[in-house]
Structure formats: C-alpha cells, structure tokens
A and B are shown apart, each in its own frame.
Chain A
Amino acid sequence: MPVLELRGITKSFPGVKANQDISLTLEKGEIHALLGENGAGKTTLMNILYGLYRPDEGEILINDQKVDIEGPNDAIARGIGMVHQHFMLVPVMTVTENVMLGNETTKSGVFLDREKVSQRIREISNQYGLEVDPEAYIKDLPVGIQQRVEIIKVLYRQADILILDEPTAVLTPQEVDGLFKIIHSLIDAGKSLIFITHKLKEVLHIADRITVLRLGKVVGSAIPGEVDEQKLAEMMVGREVNLVVNKKIAEPGAAVLEVKDLYVPDERGNPSVNGLNLDVRAGEVVGVAGVQGNGQTELVYALTGLLPIKSGSIHLSGRDIHKCTPRQIIEQGVAHVPEDRQKHGLVLSFPLLDNMVLCTYYKPPFAKGVNMQEKPIAENGTGLVKQFDVRTPSIFVAASTLSGGNQQKVIVAREFSRPIKLLIASQPTRGLDVGSIEYIHGRIIEKRDEGTAVLVVSSELDEIIALSDRIAVMYRGRIVDILPAGATKEHLGLLMAGVKPEDIPDSAKQKSAGPVEKVF
C-alpha cells in the first residue's frame, strides 16, 4: 500500500501547462526521485502536494484515503513536510523561533515557550544526527546548517512524508554525503521521501525509484540499477545528449585581470572578501568554485565596481580600476553576466530593445548628444535577437514576458556583443533548461577562443568543472587553491569545505574515471 499516491494531477498557469496528468506513488520507506530539468514542473507538482497551489484536475491519496489539501496546514496535518529549494527561513530569527513558527508551544497559553522547543530541537538533533544550535540566528549560519534547520522544522511537525526540493544544489560534495546519511537515518526511522533533483549521479546513488518529468508530463520511470546516466539524460531532455563539453585546450595569453590582496566588506559592512589573489589570462576560463556565501558575490561586485573595496588592488590590463565607477569599468571592456538576472541584469518592464542597449545607450550610434536614436537601437535589437536566438514575438515586448532562458540570452547578447577584454559570468545558467545551458556554455567557450579572459563564478560544481581551464576554490573570502582542469570533485569539495590544501589526502586527488559530466 503506497503512503502517497497522485492521480492525474494537472495544473496550468497563464500561458503554461506546468503539470499535465501526472501520476505517481510513494511506498513506505522509499526514496522516490523526481528527475527533470529546470522548468519541467517538479516544484509545481510538489507545491500542489504541499497545498501551496490547488490542482486544476486530479486527486491526492494518502494511505489510500482521498484527501483535499487546501493549504500547508492540511499538508502538515497529514504528515507531509517540505524542504524548499530556497530555504523558507526568517534570517533575523533564531533556529528555535523558525522551528516553532506556526506551531508554537506556549507557557500558560499565552507566552512562547522557547526553552521547551529548544529542548525538542536538541532531541531531534541527536536522534537524526542533525547538529545545530537552537539559539543561533539563521543569518549567522552557513547554508549547510540552514538546510538542517529546514529538515528539523519538518521533523518537529512529525512529518512521515518528506519532500526535498533540490536539496544538494547549495552543498559541497562532502555535505551531500552528510545529507545522504541523514536521509538514510530518516528512512530507517520509517519516513518516506520524495527527492527532487536534476542531477543524474545523485539520483542513481540515492533513489529507490526514479520518475522523470519533461515539460510537465511524466515521460518514464526507472530503477537505478537498470538505467545509466546517458539513458536518464535522454529521457529528461527528450533527445540524445552529449554528456561531454567539447572544447580545445586553452591557449592563454597575457594576464588581463590581476587581483591582489583584495579586501571587500559586504553591504552591511561585514568582511566578505579577505585578502584575495587571482589572475585571469586572455583566452582562458577561470572558474571560481565555492559554497554560496563565501564572498563570491562580493568579489564579482567589487570587480565590476558595484561595491567599494577596502584595500588591495584590481588591475585590468595593467590599469588599476579599483576606484573606477561601474561605467568606467564597462567602458574598459568588462562584460558582466550578473548572478541575479532579474535584479541586476534586466529592467523587466522595459522592452527588449532598450534592455539590449542598457550599457551603451548613451554612445553613438544609439545616441547623438542627449538624443536617443530609435532606428539604430531597434536595428541593434533585431540583430541581436536573431544572432543569439532569443525566442520572442517582438523586440518591443517587455523583458518580463520572456522565459528565464530567453531573458538570460538577452543579457548574454548584450554583454557579448560589445568589444570586451574580460567576461565575468556569475551563475550564468542558474535555473535554465538544458538547451539554454548548452547554448550559453557554447558561447562562453567561443568567447574564450576569441581571446577573451573569462571568469566564471558558479555554485554548480559540475558547471565549473565543465567550463574551466583553471579552477580557483574560494573559501571565506580567499582563494585557497587553484587547480588545473580535471581536478576531482572530491578534491574540490574538500577545499570548498575549508580543508587546507596541504591536508587533502592523495586519494581525493585521484582522477575519477569517465568523462566530465555535463550540467543540467
């Protein structure tokens, strides 16, 4: 008897059928992986199960009972718990407060009983090996620990069915191993688990059963022993996928970017980049690997002039640019694909053609004096849309109407079409579908081959490994080591977790067999 069964779930959003007639079951004590690329409808399905969305059609059965889940409260009451991809934690509150929120224990019926909840958290911690300080503030905790808090939240509510949405996206390989241990202890305690991911290796490693989603539909299911990565990838993407990134050996030239002893405080004044040294040469891709929150964002902001530095130097082709404004840096040939495309990369309410000239609108041919020149701007837009394969009905529609992949292509088109010396790409494919990822990766390598110096920052280790000629590992605001392409994941993972380069065992440096995996 399955503990959970979904039958014919269908859900539409304006313009998109997110889920079409999806059915799946979850057995007790099972780890059921839901595999699909970004945009396949995995999260929508789970949000329906958790009561955040209502399905247009279909039904949900728990322990063979048909249930109507009208909101998270219903889901929680029926023993369903969800660990969201973007953590649902209030940063300015303590672990205890976050855990008890919505399900508070009180003294004399009125006042919060923090002690009791802390005690319960400690018990859960001990039982499942989820070490965490109940009095700590969320904002002070690293992401790995925050994830534990999320799991504790679910266990505190005595959930039997756990949904983990892309839980490994923000973890180091070693943290992933730790998470898998926790998952096994949960299964041992009689819980059942739905594991959402787009990573093939993980699925094969942890799942008992795999269901593959594509474009909102179930396209097949599999048992790990019976399929390989290639087969899963094809099911997921719907065509044959080349798992290896094709690129020539880099031929680096002179150093374009030289960073020495850089110190950068973040927006709240806390030190984020602490004595960082790095150089990027023409015609090579340097990848910055690291767990999110180790100063990568601030490094990129400092390089592009968005954040003032405290000390150190940044040289671009020999010229010190640390005092330059963002515009001066852009004008010296730096392109920036920002981490958050909707926040920094685009003006969503502006039409595409305006977004295409966001950094160059004031220069000829787009402007003469203060007069904007409509014709060149429109021609530029039309040209770039064609050249970079942006799928849009017109260059006059607002950027907000495009899909994530096409929005990213707009940014790439704008940044790559200028004459540039240095390309800084931060999380260039976050949340994109495979087609867009392949496309953007191809373009980045193309730029490298043209002789541009490229700095890629990504929290997806697979992406770093696939693109980089050299890999710089960032930990607590410093580059702790620089490894050549072909470094092992284990090696990188240990460095990302703060293990000193000299303490890395040789076994972790051994090159694993098989080609470098492509990222989804």
Chain B
Amino acid sequence: MMKTKKNPEMDMRTRIIWGAVLIAVGLLVLFLFAFSTEAGQMTKFGLNLSKGDAFVVPDLLLPTQPTNYLLALILVGVGAFQMARGVKSTGTLVAVLAFSFVMAFLVWAARDKSFSLVGMLSSSVVRATPIALAALCGVISERAGVTNIGIEGTMLFAAQVSVIVGTISGNLWVALLAAILTGGLVASLHAFLVIKFKVDQIISGTAVNILGAGVTSFVSSRFLEKNIDALNNSGTLPSISIPLLSKIPVIGPVLFENTPIVYLTIILVAVLHIVLFYTPWGLRTRAVGEHPKAADTLGVNVYLMRYVNVIFGGMFAGLGGAYFTIGSVGRFDEVMTAGKGFIGLAAMIFGKWTPIGAYTSSLIFGFADSLQVKLQILKVGIPPEFLLMAPYIVTMIVLTGVVGKAVAPAADGAPYEK
C-alpha cells in the first residue's frame, strides 16, 4: 500500500539513546577497567587447544591498559558518531557494543594471566548445542503454528532414556537414536493434545514439563540411584576430529573437533534452512503457521503438517536431551537441563524464527554460559552465583526486543478450527 517512510522524530530519540549508551559503556570501560590496571600488565590469549597441533599459531599477547584505552575509545567514538550522524543498523551497534565490552572485560580480567580464547570459543560451541537444538525445535514447531513450551521436559525425557539405553545396550549410537525417538514421542503427546483436543498450547507444554521432571525424577530415585552401573553409566560419545579441517588454526579446534551431536546440529541448521525456504514442505509449513485457513482451502492438510513438524521438532529436542547425558557427562541427574529449553525459545525469538538466526543466537547464549565458567576460573571477584545468572539475564534482555524485534508467525499458538 504505502511505502515505508522513516519516522524522523522517533529516529532522533532512539539514535541519541543508543549513542549515549555506547558512550556510557565506553566510559565504564575506561574507569572500571583501564584505570584499574597498571601500565606494564599484559594479557595473553591462547589460540591453540592442544600442544600437538600441526600448525601452531602464536598466542595473542595484548598490553592490558592500552587495549582497554583503545576499546574505550572505539566505544566513545562510535557512540559520538551515532549521536551526530546515526549508524544505519542497530545490529552493528549491538555488535560493536557487545564485542568491545566483552573484549575489554576479558583483557582486564585476564591481566597478568594466560587465557585460552580458543578453549572458550570451543566450549561456547559445545554449550550452544542443546540451546540450539531446543531453538530449532521451537523454530520448526512455531513455523507450523504450534508453540512448544514443553521442550525442557522433552529434553529431560530424552536425556534419561538415552543414558539408560546407552548403559544397557552399551551402544551409544543406539542410545542417540533412542533419545531422538523419545523426543518425537513426547512431542507427539503435545501435538495430540493441542491439535486433536485443542488444549491451550502453553498449558499442554507445562504439563509436558511437569511430567518430564516428575517421570525422570521418579525413575531416577526408583531405579537409577540403586543401579548406577547397570543403568546410569553410559559413557559419552567420542569426539571426532574432521580430517584436515580440524587442523585449521583457531577455527579447527573450535568447530571441527567435536562430538557427533555438535556436527548433527550444524548439519540440521543447514538442512532446516533449505527445507523451510526452498522446498514445498517448507512453504506449506510456513503457510500453515501464518494463515492455516488459506493453506486448508488449497488442500494442504493443516493438522498433518502440524503433527509432523511438531514431532520432528521433538526429535531435535530429543537430540538436545542426549547432549546432556551421552553427549557430555555420561549419566543422568535430576532436572539437569536447568532451563536450557526455555533459553532455546529465547534464542528462537532472537533468531527471528529462522534456523540460522536461531543457531547464531544460541552461540551468543553459549558464549555467555562459557564466559561465566571461565570467569569463575579467573577469579574476577564477582560471586560465581551472579555469573551463573548471565544466560538468564541475557535471555530476558533479548525478549524485551530492544535489540531487533521480530514478528512471530501469525497463527503461532492458535488452534486451527475448520
């Protein structure tokens, strides 16, 4: 209809606010970090994971104080530019803001110490994996118009089943398959309730979460605790190095020396992207989530599309559940998912309901998570409990939509009545 025109008045205000935020953070870096270090201090960022790599890149050695001055300068400079002229995309601003602040913080926190940057990036990828799988589950379900808030419970079920199957069968691949099938099964319960019985999707998801926590805890205390070796000790999936690729400096150890679940996740992101946007199935899925009636009048089976997508989503969550047990510690602990399913939903929203976006934002959450662990090791003087809050607080900030607000599929969460 009418062409979108910028609203100059609104732009002015947000522009100045963003500029002010950047300058304020720049000053924060200056006063908090730069001024509290001494001139001669150095920070060492490790860029190699293990000593035996074929190509060893020299570690990054940064003078602490000048680096912080520089970063503060960048922040203030970009902030001033933003106030005066305005930067086009808020995405760039956020990137500059987050990168500079986190860098400044790390350089400051690791002053006079050595800090493995590659180690942290690599653990970010690993920690992002269950979040990404939960997010992908959300993407595919919500694109078809079904909100699945029961991802957390689904992952718990799958985590427990995979460890039990893995321990009994001794075959972790079978365990992985069992986790995926369990995820699909639990999701089919959710799908059945919301599609067939039109149960409120949030309530159904909550029931799945309560059942997930209840059943797995019940099984844990009734069976697993007494028979740890027979039932709850599966070992973990091996880490597989991809030939050649894993030898690339920095990227190699971060991306190509991982467990199969990490690889599967990355493959899934690519496949899902293609399926959603370049195949008939994806077109129908999106149509069903946006305007089910329109799809119905063209002979698309709305219910079938929703069932299949939700169940596939459940399988992703099942894979995510397997990460917690056979993918990392090899045993099941009660309520071990610790809100990752919900964080995945936030990653989905932040990623604008796209697979690639969801994965990228999961990496941010994974980074926040591993940062928190590293900082505990570095003993920065902040109580670890507060550092542990980081992923949750990041989630809440993301959900305010201050940074890149996106619109959910139009029929998301609404039951379809013929």
State the A residues within 8 Å of B (CB): 50, 52-53, 71-73, 76, 82, 84, 88-93, 97-98, 100-104, 106, 110-112, 140-142, 153, 265, 269-272, 274, 293-294, 310, 476-477
Contact = CB atoms under 8 A, between A and B. Distances in A.
Given A140-B1, A270-B4, A293-B1, A88 B298 contact: yes
Given A270-B2, A271-B5, A90 B287 contact: yes
B284 A88 contact: no
A112 B280 contact: yes
A72 B298 contact: yes
Interface stretch (B82-90, B107-115, B288-296): B288-296
A104 B295 CA distance: 12
19 contacts: A52-B296, A52-B297, A71-B299, A72-B296, A88-B293, A91-B290, A93-B283, A98-B294, A101-B294, A101-B298, A102-B295, A110-B279, A111-B279, A140-B1, A141-B1, A269-B7, A270-B5, A310-B9, A477-B2
Interface string B56-75: 00000000000000000000
Contacts of B294: 88-90, 98, 101
A142 B279 CA distance: 28
Contacts of B298: 72, 76, 88, 101-103, 153
Query: In this complex, which of A50, A53, A72, A90 has the most chain B Cβ atoms within 10 angstroms of its Cβ?
Result: A90
Given A52-B418, A111-B279, A269-B7, A93 B1 contact: no
Contact of A84 (B279, B284, B297): B297
Q: A-B pairs with the 4 shortest C-beta distances?
A: A102-B298, A73-B299, A88-B294, A104-B280
Contact of B291 (A50, A72, A76, A91): A91
Query: In this complex, which of A101, A153, A269 has the most chain B Cβ atoms within 10 angstroms of its Cβ?
Result: A101
B163 to A, nearest CB: 37
B283 A82 contact: no
Contacts of A274: 2
A162 to B, nearest CB: 14
A299 to B, nearest CB: 14
A4 to B, nearest CB: 18
Interface residues of B, number: 26
A92 B143 CA distance: 13
Contacts of A93: 283, 286-287, 290
Contacts of A269: 4, 7, 10
Contacts of A110: 279
Contacts of B278: 111-112
A266 to B, nearest CB: 9
Contacts of A97: 283
Contacts of B296: 52, 72
B7 A90 contact: no
A153 B294 CA distance: 11
Query: In this complex, which of A52, A88, A103 has the most chain B Cβ atoms within 10 angstroms of its Cβ?
Result: A88
Nearest to A294: B1
B5 to A, nearest CB: 6
A104 B283 CA distance: 9
- Chain A interface secondary structure, helix, strand, loop or mixed? loop
Nearest to A477: B2
Nearest to A87: B294
A142 B287 contact: no
Given A93-B290, A103-B298, 19 more contacts: A50-B297, A72-B296, A72-B297, A89-B294, A90-B286, A90-B287, A92-B410, A97-B283, A98-B294, A100-B283, A101-B283, A102-B298, A106-B279, A111-B279, A112-B280, A269-B4, A274-B2, A310-B7, A477-B2
B300 A101 contact: yes
Given A89-B291, A90-B290, A100-B283, A142 B5 contact: no
A72 B299 CA distance: 5
Contacts of B287: 90, 93, 101
A93 B277 CA distance: 11
Given A90-B291, A93-B286, A112-B280, A102 B300 contact: yes
Interface in B1-48: 1-2, 4-5, 7, 9-10
A89 B298 CA distance: 10
A112 B283 contact: yes
A88 B291 contact: yes
Nearest to A51: B299
A213 B215 CA distance: 58
Contacts of B283: 93, 97, 100-101, 104, 112
A158 to B, nearest CB: 14
B299 A76 contact: yes
Query: In this complex, which of B280, B293, B295 has the most chain A Cβ atoms within 10 angstroms of its Cβ?
Result: B280
Contacts of B300: 101-102
A97 B5 CA distance: 26
Interface string B395-418: 000000000000000100000001
B298 to A, nearest CB: 3
Contacts of A84: 297
Contacts of A50: 297
A140 B279 CA distance: 24
A179 B286 CA distance: 30
Contact of B279 (A98, A112, A153): A112
A103 to B, nearest CB: 7
Contacts of B1: 140-142, 293-294, 476
A120 to B, nearest CB: 16
Contacts of B291: 88-91
Interface in B141-170: none
A103 B298 CA distance: 8
A135 to B, nearest CB: 15
A92 B290 contact: yes
A100 B282 CA distance: 12
B412 to A, nearest CB: 12
B290 A102 contact: no
